[in-house]
């Protein structure tokens, strides 16, 4: 029996609308959203924890009917085009982090593992891009995508060098630390996961977990870099809750890493992919510049 059939007798629905991974169910008792239960994720426990921390900005879970389905209230976005949506979203995220933040004792291996994971990613990206650089440099006539890549290779390499240097500096700060600040993070932030109705809502909590709050900022930045002016977003976040120097440095390192460009496919697809990934690189450089520029004016 599929998830819709199993709910008919309980909610008496008269219309269904499939939207992404959800099914909107219109019933005589109101509208609901039915989602398949994510594997190894106790959303009921997460929501109960959030309520205990006085964070109630998520759709109500009306029932846990059968083991494989969650049923939520349906919330309509009443704001339409909202110029302040990004600032409202980041304010809610900052509130989430501040209300669920705590320090956890960790071993010296914790920071070492983070360092080695990022270091290995940097080495992988450096080898990945060097391979294509050497290959395309030998071509007599470059395709548009190959030529664009060669023109920007130094920028990619500079971003990798920056991330590596900052990573080494970060590790020198945290190597002897015995605790780590954690929060409950949404871990899937985007503008489409924020709804303004009778109150603010964050939806789609399937990836929520306890981890460093900067992961939410990284995810939001990478998902929405083209749609947001992130400087003001970041300042709004810091006006509500704070990041330590080591947290801010790690955030900068993670967003500064170049995204991997897929060189497979037709020429138009590759050019489009490359332009987006290069735009990310240049826009990130502009965002980070004020934090690494020394004022030399008298």
CA 291 to chain centre: 21
- Phi/psi at 180 (5° precision): -140, 140
Alpha helices in the chain (DSSP H): 3-11, 43-52, 85-100, 108-137, 144-174, 214-224, 230-240, 245-256, 267-292
Look over the chain and give the mean of its residue pLDDT values, rounded to a whole number.
89
| 3-class DSSP string for 107-163 | CHHHHHHHHHHHHHHHHHHHHHHHHHHHHHHCCCCCCHHHHHHHHHHHHHHHHHHHH
- 236 Cβ contact partners less than 8 Å away, ≥ 6 residues apart: 87, 90, 91, 94
Name the CATH topology of 100-292: Aminoglycoside 3'-phosphotransferase; Chain: A, domain 2 (3.90.1200)
Residue ranges of domains in the chain:
3-74, 100-292
| Better-scored residue on pLDDT, 69 or 125 | 125
* pTM: predicted TM-score of the whole model, two decimal places: 0.88
Report residue 96 as tokens. 């989430």
87 in helix, strand or coil? Answer: helix
What tens digit of pLDDT does each residue of 11-46 get? 677 777 777 777 787 777 778 888 887 777 788 899
- Per residue in 111-152, pLDDT tens? 999 999 999 999 999 999 999 999 999 999 999 999 999 999
For 3-74, which CATH class? alpha beta
- Percentage of the chain exceeding pLDDT 70: 90
Report the C-alpha gap between 3 and 7 in whole angstroms: 7
* pLDDT reported for residue 175: 92
Rg (CA), the chain: 23
């Amino acid at each position: 029996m599929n998830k819709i059939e199993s709910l008919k007798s309980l909610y008496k629905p008269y219309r269904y609308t499939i939207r992404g991974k959800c099914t909107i169910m219109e019933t005589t008792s109101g509208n609901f959203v039915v989602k398949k239960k994510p594997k190894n994720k106790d959303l009921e426990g997460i929501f109960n924890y959030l309520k205990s921390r006085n964070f109630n900005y998520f759709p109500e879970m009306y029932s846990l009917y059968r083991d494989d389905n969650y049923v939520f209230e349906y919330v309509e976005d009443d704001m339409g085009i909202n110029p302040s949506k990004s600032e409202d979203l980041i304010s809610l995220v900052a509130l989430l982090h501040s209300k669920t933040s705590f320090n956890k004792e960790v071993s010296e291996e914790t920071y070492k593992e983070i360092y080695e994971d990022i270091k290995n990613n940097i080495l992988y990206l450096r080898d990945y891009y060097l391979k294509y650089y050497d290959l395309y440099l030998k071509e007599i006539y470059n395709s548009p995508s190959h030529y664009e890549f060669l023109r920007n290779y130094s920028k990619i390499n500079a971003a990798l060098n920056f991330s590596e240097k900052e990573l080494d500096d970060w590790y020198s700060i945290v190597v002897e630390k015995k605790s780590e600040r954690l929060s409950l993070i949404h871990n899937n932030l985007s503008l489409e996961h924020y709804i303004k109705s009778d109150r603010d809502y964050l939806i789609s909590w399937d990836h929520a977990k306890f981890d460093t709050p900067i992961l939410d900022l990284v995810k939001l930045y990478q998902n929405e870099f083209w749609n947001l002016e992130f400087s003001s977003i970041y300042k709004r976040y810091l006006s509500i809750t704070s990041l330590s120097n080591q947290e801010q440095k790690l955030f900068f390192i993670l967003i500064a890493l170049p995204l991997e460009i897929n060189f497979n496919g037709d020429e138009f697809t590759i050019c489009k992919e490359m332009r987006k990934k290069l735009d990310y690189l240049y826009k990130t450089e502009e965002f980070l510049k004020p934090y690494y520029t020394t004022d030399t004016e008298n």
